[in-house]
Structure 1
């Protein structure tokens, strides 16, 4: 009884973030804000009553399929007003677990909830994937239209994702490849890709997609069912959701995917996928409101912490931004990005606050990505106190040509009209950033019809191979920027940049060209406190750039 009370008491603590909402003001010159008031998320509260899955016939031998017993415990708990469904020590083999309102699924420290390798346990369902209505296998853990739910404890939830994922030989060691081939499945004719089943190989060979197009039904996907890898945990349109303390690992696709949820708290999790796991994202928060993400560790095969809101016209019609989000005190190891927005952000993203996080070994640190056709407005993004080490590519990246070819400096540019399908990045404040090791420090690339706008970069120290590139951007304000990039020539490249200011700039003493201004569409580039006024050879002008646009003070 004491243990049960402790479990319940851990959930009863109300979430107390300071203040009710952040006040922000925008002017033509600068955006100011205060960190003293942040958005709030409300946590669920549960009755102390506990329902042990053993009482419903579950067997912890790793062999017995416990799907019916676990779901019966959850249904019974919910029908009696809610409480705690306890997963005690042991290995509990199961198929899909269906959450119910007012239930806290609690995983003890010595418990492993292991999902079955049998694809037939997971029926085809209609879901959402990469922002589009899609055919999917049912998620191992799922809930729809629920309220007051949680998964807590300190045990492990294992999605058995390796049995779902095809994998390239180049992603594995020789020993791993031999083990994978010996496990069954099929290998491509060129001996480069392993497939878990014939259905997966068929989908790959025919280049089949997952989207449910008009006129299609789930039956149209039966022949490639195994290819439709589920996300490990999906909560759709739920309120007051808590994920705390648990290890979520080995997901078939994305690991944690809350969609259209309100009052979501993700705290002190360890989220782990192999680094070769394609689409092996850690956390994808899609079209959610009032979110707290704190104290988590991510080590995954794709983006670590990612903000989404639907894709293209479908996402715009939904019209639900991800908003009022606090992300703090998280560590991200392997991942495509540490903190990411996009690329499926067609419903928008706003009022997001990221601070006191560390990224170590991610491909990109801060990653903001979109493309023509997405639409959506990403704005009021505040980032502070981020530490990065050994970033593979860019420390800070804004890219509006995600999975698209950008024109070169000398190419003729076709500028399409601005429509609802034109994406927008504006009003970001990024402050107090340190990166020790990356290929490039800063990369900003907008569209000629819609530049990246109003970005403040303050007190930033980046030790990288290359410096910064700013292309198709307007209102980039930098202050106290240090780019220690010994291999950079130039240190800062600007193309089609307007109203670019830099006050306080340090660079490697052996740098050659510091600024390269490119093209005839630049204006008002001002640099002060950078020791450039008497060093004209440190600045070059190419491809028709006018010297008058650059002022060194």
Structure 2
């Protein structure tokens, strides 16, 4: 009988969703070791002045141009000492560490002329907020390999209040910039830093592989419009862990392109592992999937998360014309408090980049597991409103307990099907079938999390 049990376990594991990446490991499972770079220079050596008023864009650009010569000699480090270092946009290079000492603050200029306007991303076809180009991010990496942005809790401050005012008054000509953006890059690390007041997104890896974001703090005021923390976008093998994020809109949002442009580009966001994070979002969702998801989002594992003081806890967003898919998602071991809507899945969310989208490009939401969740002061337990022509399928709910200060949290469902087990309050009938063998769950084997 013991041998039969082992065989059954092996059979189950062989039929599991593989949430690992290369070498069959989940993105957060590898040991992160940052070797010291053999060459290091200070931004002071290039004439930078840390008084918060002197513009240091040229100093950053010249320093990184100099350090580029060490790429084939083990790489190099750019050291930023304590001070307030005002700058416009600048680019990084491969095999580089940007290190911010404790007390070092990189300040984004509030003059738009210090932020170059660049072409839109091909998977979006236009700026996300306005047609045409977009302002380049403060710190950029394009087609890089082995790049680290880290420090001793230094700060990157986007000084975004002017951008929020321009956005709200509709006086911008281009979409707002982000703080850090990596495009088509591999082996990227962002760690041990504080990010505040981004004009829009804080960290945006797009078309990237092997991205590790850990031990960072990210914040913007509740009234900051559509500010977002970390946005993995058409990227794979992404680890986000041990972070605290408090944003005006979404804390973490997974994306993969917009309508016909995302479908044509065809790069998914996949193999993402998120764990041990504290997330707050004033007007959006603590954890969001979409709504720009036309390249697909799959194989995402989220565990040990605390969501609080947010409009929505976990939300899946899409609409007709998106195409793509959101599937093979497991979210487990979640604490929620003071959340208006614990779970959401909407098939009528978001706009279109132009009138060239295909209204018959219907998204696919399937095989999504939500389990081991405790929520207090919840108003709406779940709102699942799918698409009539393409209902959401195989939502699996297990071991969930949600409570409100008065009465019970409510459920709203249409064009969705799924199953549930040990869920309170009892979900709507569409999600109330017996727990299905097609649902996925987590199992700890030898101290590691396996996906069943």
- 1:478 corresponds to 2:413: no
The answer as to whether partners of 1:315 and 1:346 remain within 8 angstroms in 2 is yes
Summarize the Cα distance change of 1:380–1:69 in structure 2 as closer, same or farther, 3 Å threshold: same
Measure, in 2, the Cα distance between the counterparts of 1:332 and 1:365: 9
- 1:456 corresponds to 2:396: yes
C-alpha RMSD over aligned residues:
2.5
Structure-1 residue corresponding to 2:144: 146
Structure-1 residue corresponding to 2:257: 310
Number of paired residues? 399
| 1:139 shift after superposition | 1.3
Q: Deviations over 1:42-98 (max 9, x none)?
A: 767552321111111111111211111122112212212322110011111111121
Structure-1 residue corresponding to 2:59: 69
| 1:138 shift after superposition | 1.9
Measure, in 2, the Cα distance between the counterparts of 1:457 and 1:322: 23
Q: TM-score, normalised by structure 1?
A: 0.68
Structure-2 residue corresponding to 1:397: 344
User: Superposed, which structure 2 residues align to 1:335-414 within 5 Å?
Assistant: 335=282, 336-392=284-340, 394-403=341-350
Summarize the Cα distance change of 1:493–1:235 in structure 2 as closer, same or farther, 3 Å threshold: same
| 1:332 shift after superposition | 0.7
User: Superposed, which structure 2 residues align to 1:124-523 within 5 Å?
Assistant: 124-128=117-121, 131-134=124-127, 135-153=133-151, 154-166=153-165, 195=169, 200-201=170-171, 224=173, 227-335=174-282, 336-392=284-340, 394-403=341-350, 419=360, 421-464=361-404, 465-474=408-417, 476-483=418-425, 492-494=427-429, 497=430, 500-502=432-434
The answer as to whether partners of 1:46 and 1:102 remain within 8 angstroms in 2 is no
Q: Deviations over 1:274-328 (max 9, x none)?
A: 2111120111110001011000010111111111000111101111110011100
| 1:132 shift after superposition | 3.6
Measure, in 2, the Cα distance between the counterparts of 1:453 and 1:303: 25
Measure, in 2, the Cα distance between the counterparts of 1:88 and 1:320: 39
Compare relative contact order (CA 8 Å, sep 6+) and give the higher one, 1 or 2.
Answer: 2
Summarize the Cα distance change of 1:403–1:287 in structure 2 as closer, same or farther, 3 Å threshold: closer
The answer as to whether partners of 2:123 and 2:261 remain within 8 angstroms in 1 is no
Structure-1 residue corresponding to 2:113: 120
Q: Please say which structure displays the higher CA radius of gyration.
A: 1
Measure, in 1, the Cα distance between the counterparts of 2:414 and 2:184: 39
- The SS at the match of 1:164 is helix
The answer as to whether partners of 1:71 and 1:97 remain within 8 angstroms in 2 is yes
Q: TM-score, normalised by structure 2?
A: 0.83
Q: Deviations over 1:517-547 (max 9, x none)?
A: xxxxxxxxxxxxxxxxxxxxxxxxxxxxxxx
Measure, in 2, the Cα distance between the counterparts of 1:129 and 1:139: 16
Q: Deviations over 1:307-355 (max 9, x none)?
A: 1000111101111110011100000123411111000000001110000
Unaligned 5+ runs, structure 1: 1-21, 169-192, 204-223, 405-416, 484-490, 504-553
The answer as to whether partners of 2:194 and 2:218 remain within 8 angstroms in 1 is yes
Measure, in 1, the Cα distance between the counterparts of 2:162 and 2:328: 41
The answer as to whether partners of 1:444 and 1:473 remain within 8 angstroms in 2 is yes
Structure-2 residue corresponding to 1:412: none
Q: 1:52 aligns with which of 38, 42, 54?
A: 42
Answer with 274-283 or 382-391: which moved more.
274-283
| 1:104 shift after superposition | 0.7
- The SS at the match of 1:456 is strand
